[in-house]
Chains A and B, each alone.
Chain A
Amino acid sequence: MPDLDFSTRLATTPDLAHGMRKLGLFCASFEDDARRVGSTYGYRFDIDEPALARAFFDWIDAIEHQSAGRRTDRADFTLFCGGLALGELVRAGPARARKAAPAVPGRRLARAAIADFWPEGFLYADFCIGAVSAVLEQELGAAPPLDPALDDMRTWWSFRENATENPALAAAFLDLFFGLSPNWTFPDHLSVRPAVGTAEITGG
């Protein structure tokens, strides 16, 4: 799902895993992705910067609260952090989509129906998937494959309905998008993830 340019460009940022936990890079990357997604799918996203900053700091607080004193696999921790970010973005709602002309008129993209169904949620998911992919590409040499469920409109019906009602569930959907088995009961609890306890979070 994430545009190769976005993900690849992000992956060139030194120490991206820590860089994304800085307000400056987080906001700049999100706004960059909003412009790219908007021009590709025919939307203009108005970004509420204070709401984006609130989402960022709530995300930082959530990471620190969940990771305190815990041991987990580095790659799984990155995925988990991406899921928490998706939840905070859905909760804060920093983007408002307005219909605009697509960059290439007349061209119908495979995911256009999904973007039309929920443009803001599509942007949040694209950003989080792109950021997680870039971090994992930088740290492990390759981004993990995405699950076909990502292209299934039924997944998005469920994602929109459930995540808007309970933003914590967004973390479970991000696991689903990356082909992992989601924990629907405690999606935002690091302690119940299978990878916890197998390794130390390095450089967390």
Chain B
Amino acid sequence: MLREISGGISSQARDRLRDLREALQARRRESEGRQTRHGLLPPEIEHIIDHAAGAIDDTMTAARSLSLAVFPELTDARLALLPLERYFAAEDGGRLFRHHIYRAARIAGARSGPAAAGLVRETVLHDAFIAARRQCGRALAALRMPGPAEARATSAAEICAVLMHEIVAPATAAAAGMRVGCYAPGLLASAWASVDGRPYVPQTLELAMLAVGARQERLAAAAAADDPVGALSALFESMLLHLA
């Protein structure tokens, strides 16, 4: 329980820092593109705020660059998704799940534009992970045992469906499609590693993005159905059986 709380708090803290950085960068862009000042504050104060925002953004950018230099495995190019069941079995699986699927969601979101990528939240993944661990005991146990691909696809699809439902449920109808487009590819690629048994390769996420793009409207509609988990499971299972 303590780990869950601490994971949730750290996810929230990271989301807030990312929001702050994006707000600073937006302020900076606005300031650089501004020819004349029409703010409520005197120009000298506006200038000081712009300067401070730029300095903090530079510091955060430098810190991020440094962390990627020290931990190159954190770069998107080195993203390595694990099979779904591994996240739920490992000691620090929840943290790995949030970090991996968050990055996969940012990559997928970036294809739709900066607005979509900016909507990705680690906190959402934390909550979904807790719910799936509570609800998917049988499917997770089945995935930990060897079995035919079809049966593994059924179990992996059920876990994806619960995760997707928890991710989409709090969103408005308008945001549901965008959340599907961002989060579903990472879940699908991870689930595919569970079904296929081969290690993850970046092409899997590319294929998963294509598959989700082809079924995005249906996934969003399934998430709003009377039995969202059942409807999402059927779609994920079909994608898993025909991905690669």
Contact = CB atoms under 8 A, between A and B. Distances in A.
Interface in A1-40: 21-25, 27
A49 B120 CA distance: 24
Contact of B203 (A24, A49, A53, A60): A24
State the majority secondary structure of interface residues on B.
helix
Interface centre among B207, B211, B214 (most CB of A within 10 A): B214
A27 B214 CA distance: 13
Nearest to B210: A53
B54 interface: no
Nearest to B235: A57
Interface string A49-72: 110011011001100100000000
A135 B201 CA distance: 28
A23 B210 contact: yes
B242 A27 contact: no
A64 B243 CA distance: 16
A120 B60 CA distance: 50
A24 B242 CA distance: 8
Contacts of B67: none
B59 interface: no
State the majority secondary structure of interface residues on A.
helix
B244 interface: yes
B214 A22 contact: no
Interface residues of A, number: 15
B93 interface: no
Interface residues of B, number: 12
A57 B211 contact: yes
Nearest to A27: B210
A50 B243 contact: no
A162 B238 CA distance: 31
A22 B210 contact: no
A93 to B, nearest CB: 14
Contacts of B207: 23-24, 27
B244 A22 contact: yes
Contacts of A56: 214, 242
Contacts of A49: 210
A35 to B, nearest CB: 18
B242 A54 contact: no
B8 to A, nearest CB: 35
B203 A54 contact: no
20 contacts: A22-B242, A22-B243, A23-B207, A23-B210, A23-B211, A23-B243, A23-B244, A24-B207, A27-B207, A27-B210, A49-B210, A50-B210, A50-B213, A53-B210, A53-B214, A57-B211, A57-B214, A57-B239, A60-B238, A61-B238
Interface of B: 203, 207, 210-211, 213-215, 238-239, 242-244
Q: Nearest 5 CB-CB pairs, A to B?
A: A24-B244, A53-B214, A53-B210, A54-B214, A50-B213
